[in-house]
Amino acid sequence: MDMFAEMLGSYAIVVWVVVPALTLLLLYGVIRIGVARALRDHQLWMEKNRPDDLLSSVDKF
């Protein structure tokens, strides 16, 4: 019985380490994809709304 309890304790430690690590990896992937898509959309928006020349975006006095 002691061997079973020892194995159960070992598995509990492995699960205690692996589950948070997998959770962090999943969260990292979701955030990375979200940021990449936001940057892509922003770049496309900037290209679409680009001013004709540099002086058109500056207030003229």
In this prediction, what percent of the chain has a pLDDT beyond 70? 82
Pair 57, 51: CB distance under 8 Å: yes
pLDDT at 57: 58
Q: Which residue has the higher pLDDT, 53 or 12?
A: 12
Give the C-alpha separation, 24 to 55, whole Å. 47
**pLDDT mean over 6-30:** 90
pTM of the model: 0.64
Confidence band (pLDDT; 50, 70, 90) for 46?
Answer: very high
Mean of the per-residue pLDDT values of the chain? 85
